[in-house]
Amino acid sequence: RNNDYCKGRLFKWTNYLHGWQERFLVLKLGFLNYYKNEYEISLGCRGALSVKQALIQPHEFDDCRFDIRVNDSVWYLRAHNSDDRERWVQALEEHKILCKAESGYGSETNL
């Protein structure tokens, strides 16, 4: 499956000192990982969120923004334009359904 992931540059909220910083994000195998940039992928990811339980929320007023929540963890993200946001949100939603279907087939339904 080559079409079940998404990658590219997005602005990610870091902290009050550094604000929004461009980062390289990769969606695959149930996780959204982020890296400082595409050249540092081999150094390991700087953070990851499990997509299966994630809540993906496009921002109400800012059409570039979307938030991803897993329990208490929130990533605030900003795409370069609204089309790019659309591409990410759609990929994430599709990936989420795929994750649920795959794990549902295994352990969970049998418990």
- Residues near another protein, by CB under 8 A: 12-21, 46-47, 62, 72, 74, 76
Q: Using the minimum distance from each CB to another protein, give the nearer residue, 73 or 103.
A: 73
- The count of residues in the chain is 111
Give the long-range contacts of residues 41-47, CB within 8 A, separation 24 or more: 47/75
CB of 80 to another protein, least distance (A): 14
Q: Using the minimum distance from each CB to another protein, give the nearer residue, 17 or 101.
A: 17
Q: Using the minimum distance from each CB to another protein, give the nearer residue, 64 or 98.
A: 64
Q: Using the minimum distance from each CB to another protein, give the nearer residue, 1 or 18.
A: 18
CB of 71 to another protein, least distance (A): 11
Going 25 to 90 to 49 to 57, the CA torsion angle's sign is positive
Nearby residues of 35 by Cβ (< 8 Å), 6 or more positions away: 23, 24, 25, 26, 41, 43, 45, 46
Query: Taking Cα atoms as reference points, which of 16, 76, 80 lies closest to residue 47?
Result: 76
CB of 14 to another protein, least distance (A): 4
Q: Which helix (H) or strand (E) holds 55?
A: strand 55-58
CB of 42 to another protein, least distance (A): 19
